Chain A
Amino acid sequence: MKKTSWMVAGLASIALAGTAGAATLDDVRAKGELTCIVNTGLAGFAAPNDQGVWSGFDIDYCRAVAAAVLGDAGAVGFVPSTTAERFTKLRAGEGEILSRNTTWTFSRDVDLQQTFVGVNYYDGQGFMVPASLGVSSATELDGASVCIQTGTTTELNLAEYFSLNNISYEPVPIATNAEAQANYLAGRCDVYTTDASGLAATKAAFDNPNDHVVLPEVISKEPLGPVVRHGDDQWADIASWTLKAMMVAEELGITSQNADEMKGSENPEIRRLLGVEELQGVTTLGLSPDWAYNIITQVGNYGESFERHLGKSTKLGLSRGINALAKDGGLHYIPPVK
């Protein structure tokens, strides 16, 4: 017993080695590449496209950080991870950023020693059922088999929601979205539950999307956002302001197309964001003055990224809804760039 636990300790210490010490920004610069922990594949958020290049809403954020830090949105390596492994991977130093539809919760923030740097998508947990079942509300699901990704907040929400409403069910735990899809389509379960955005993405990938309906109930708050390790405030600030810069750019009407002409704008906030005028603190953060300009020209603003991967013109067809900027009636309210 003793020997075995030493062995485990050894293995774990090897896995953990290298997390401590030097500033994350220096590590990334030295590597010349940012490493991002992402989904194993979720249409619209993170999936390799037909050329094998990772693309999606969560991927865009990684590219934006790379553009801000390295000046090159292409300098990103991706580490696909299941829901269950993601935090372990982040803390073991397998990547500098976790951008993987991750719900911001108290215990994940505090107990798991991580920092959520913002919310890039306000989501909520929903249910999808085959239209042929004739179910119109989640309250009619008594006795159903429910496919669910293990190691997620959805697992806990489901248990809470169903016991509050006195609904019995059979949980069918599944490791990845792809397997959940296969089991759901094979009829192993009546219902698939995950974040509403994930349901839209999954449904869009079906052969006959119209044979399935998403029920009206949204049973939880799921603020999704990127995560970094505790203990490096500089890196957390970079990660946080990269996301904010994308949103501010949309607020100010700067797009990847017009960023160059916007440099001539009279608006001081635009001038500061694009590095025409000095934005105090950028050098303290360890970034070059054109950090936000690089993000906007190489990746685009928040709205562009949303429309490109999730919006009405895509297969997912999600509307902005609560994910609009505050000035458009949504929840994204961004501190000013001053």
Chain B
Amino acid sequence: MSYFSSLWRNEQSRGILIQIFVLVAFFACFSWLISNVISNFATLNKGFGFDFLMLPAGYDINQTLIEYTNRSTHLRAAIVGLLNTFLVAGVGIVLATVLGFVLGVARLSRNWLISKLAYVYIEFTRNVPVLLHILLWHGIIVNTMPHPKKALTVGEVLFLTNRGLYVPKPIAETGIWLVWLGVVAALFFSVGFARYARARQRQSGMQLPVFRVNLAIWILLPLLAFFAAGQPISLSFPALKGFNFRGGIQLPPEFVALTFALSIYTAAFIGEIVRAGIIAVDKGQREAAEAIGLRPNQVMNEVILPQARRIIIPPLTSQYLNLTKNSSLAIAIGYMDIVATLGGITLNQTGREMEAMLMVMGIYLIISLIISAFMNWYNSRVRLVGR
């Protein structure tokens, strides 16, 4: 006893003791939970396993990025759902980032109207729950857009209806490899030219029109390859046939509403993050840049943003994670993401709640960790290098 109390009185050993107690309590708690699950599964006479993933799913999905029929397995249905999640998260992140940067810069604009408009947008958007944004956009599209028979059209190529937006679909034909070669060549040359331009600027201070030249490379090379290969891409145009449009690519209202809502909502947060990052850059930097005669957009692009980026990236990462996780609200409007397929219909048809939910949670965890890892890598690349 006295030995114990002397351990307890010593600050260092007390710290270790407390940690051991907490750890033991922690594990006791979890083992109790697990044994409870096991005993409840036993009483319900339920097994635990993932065999159900190999059974035919039996249901159809309206948006599939890979081949899928109702005879495909539950696993394939889950992958279809996962790809739909990736699609909405990917497009959402790009849109939200672009819009967010514009908002952040606009918010700091010296133009009163632009700055106030950005302010009103941000306050109105981020103070309304994202689920309402999603329902609102879906409601707007479904209720105000015309029926396919009275579709709005842009030159009989784009069609806008309450069943979604229809655009022509490119179809690859033989010889497409030459076009891909053109794209790869464009990538190669544009990166090379940018490097050359930077090296030259460093040496002589002379600037080359990098953007314009690279734009030309990106347009000309693939276009040249396209004609050299005898135009190996044809377009399938959407056309009204029966109840709906056939052909082309359909962007269903659920996808459009979800992407819009998520990016518009998240952009408001990103705007504030960008603003904070810009303000955090010492104002002497701006003054110095102006003093050496840089133009306002050069000041922003060459001096302010590269420094603000270091401050922006960590909170930006968590916004990307939020957007990805918020995409699970898709189920509210029937967008078939991973939650609606694996965590919804599959779960309900097979009754494997535990397995399905564990998988869905595991998948979101992995996606989030991948995004975090990428953003951490990028952050370490742009951070201030101590010299």
Enumerate chain A interface residues (CB-CB to B < 8 A).
1, 4-6, 8-10, 12-14, 16-17, 19-21, 83-84, 87-88, 91, 107-108, 111-113, 133, 141-145, 150-151, 155-156, 158-160, 163, 169-175, 183, 186-188, 190, 230-231
Give chain B's interface residue range (CB within 8 Å of chain A). Answer: 35 or more
Q: B344-380: which residues lie under 8 A (CB-CB) from chain A?
A: 344-345, 347-351, 353-354, 357-358, 361-362, 365
Instruction: Tell me if A9 and B33 are in contact (CB < 8 A).
Output: yes
Enumerate chain B interface residues (CB-CB to A < 8 A).
29-30, 33-34, 36-37, 39-40, 43-46, 58-62, 69-70, 142-143, 147, 162-163, 241-244, 246, 253, 331-332, 334, 336, 340, 344-345, 347-351, 353-354, 357-358, 361-362, 365
Instruction: Tell me if B358 and A8 are in contact (CB < 8 A).
Output: yes
Q: Which 8 A-B pairs have the closest CB atoms?
A: A151-B348, A10-B33, A159-B70, A20-B43, A13-B36, A143-B242, A13-B37, A16-B40
Instruction: Tell me if B345 and A155 are in contact (CB < 8 A).
Output: yes
Instruction: Tell me if A188 and B351 are in contact (CB < 8 A).
Output: no
Given A87-B351, A160-B58, check contact A150 B357 (CB 8 Å): no
Instruction: Tell me if B40 and A20 are in contact (CB < 8 A).
Output: yes
Please report the C-alpha to C-alpha distance between residue A144 and residue B245 in the assembled complex, in whole angstroms. 10
Instruction: Tell me if B348 and A17 are in contact (CB < 8 A).
Output: no
Instruction: Tell me if A113 and B45 are in contact (CB < 8 A).
Output: yes
Instruction: Tell me if B70 and A173 are in contact (CB < 8 A).
Output: no
Given A20-B39, A159-B58, A170-B244, check contact A91 B44 (CB 8 Å): yes
Given A12-B37, A186-B162, A188-B162, check contact A4 B365 (CB 8 Å): yes
Instruction: Tell me if A113 and B44 are in contact (CB < 8 A).
Output: yes
> Beyond A16-B40, A144-B244, A173-B336: 4 further Cβ-contacts under 8 Å?
A91-B44, A159-B58, A159-B59, A169-B60
Nearest residue (CB) in B for A3 is: B30
Which one of B29, B244, B253 has the greatest number of beta carbons of chain A within 10 Å?
B244
Please report the C-alpha to C-alpha distance between residue A202 and residue B129 in the assembled complex, in whole angstroms. 30
Please report the C-alpha to C-alpha distance between residue A211 and residue B351 in the assembled complex, in whole angstroms. 39
| A to B CB contacts below 8 Å, 12 in the list | A8-B354, A10-B29, A12-B37, A20-B40, A20-B43, A84-B344, A143-B244, A150-B344, A158-B60, A174-B334, A190-B243, A231-B45
Q: Least Cβ distance of A48 to chain B in Å?
A: 23
Instruction: Tell me if B348 and A19 are in contact (CB < 8 A).
Output: no
Contact of B60 among A151, A159, A183 (CB under 8 A): A159
Cβ–Cβ < 8 Å partners of B60 in chain A: 158-159, 169, 171
